[in-house]
Amino acid sequence: PLSGVSLWAQPPGAQVALGDRLVLSCAVAAGTGPLSFSWHREGSALPLGTSPRLVLRHLGHNDSGHYQCRVSDGDSVAESDPLNVTVL
């Protein structure tokens, strides 16, 4: 089974100046087989991306919020803790 889905941001702390870019990365501590990734923002059903990295460019105030990485191995799904992104 999948476990240990972690999420980190560049810049660290996920505090980004208006108009700057943010890179979110997702990693899995344990899991086998082909993994599929999807990125979600609170309240949004559509995924923002489907790779282990999500690059957000030219951030605006409406990009603030909680982001999560969801990983599936076909049998089970695991999610990272939500990361709070703040656009300053």
Q: pLDDT, tens digit, for every residue of 44-54?
A: 879 999 999 99
Domain that residue 55 falls in: 3-87
User: What CATH number does the domain containing 46 carry?
Assistant: 2.60.40.10
**First vs last C-alpha separation in the chain:** 38
Could you give the number of structural domains in the chain?
Answer: 1
0.75 exceeded by pTM: yes
DSSP state letter for 55: E
Q: Give residue 77's pLDDT band: very low, low, confident or very high (50, 70, 90).
A: very high
Residue 56: in which H helix or E strand, if any?
Answer: strand 53-56
Q: Of the candidates 25, 21, 10, 8, which has an alpha carbon nearest to the alpha carbon of residue 63? A: 21
DSSP states along 4-51:
EEEEEEESGGGEE-TT--EEEEEEEEE--S--EEEEEETT--S-SBSS
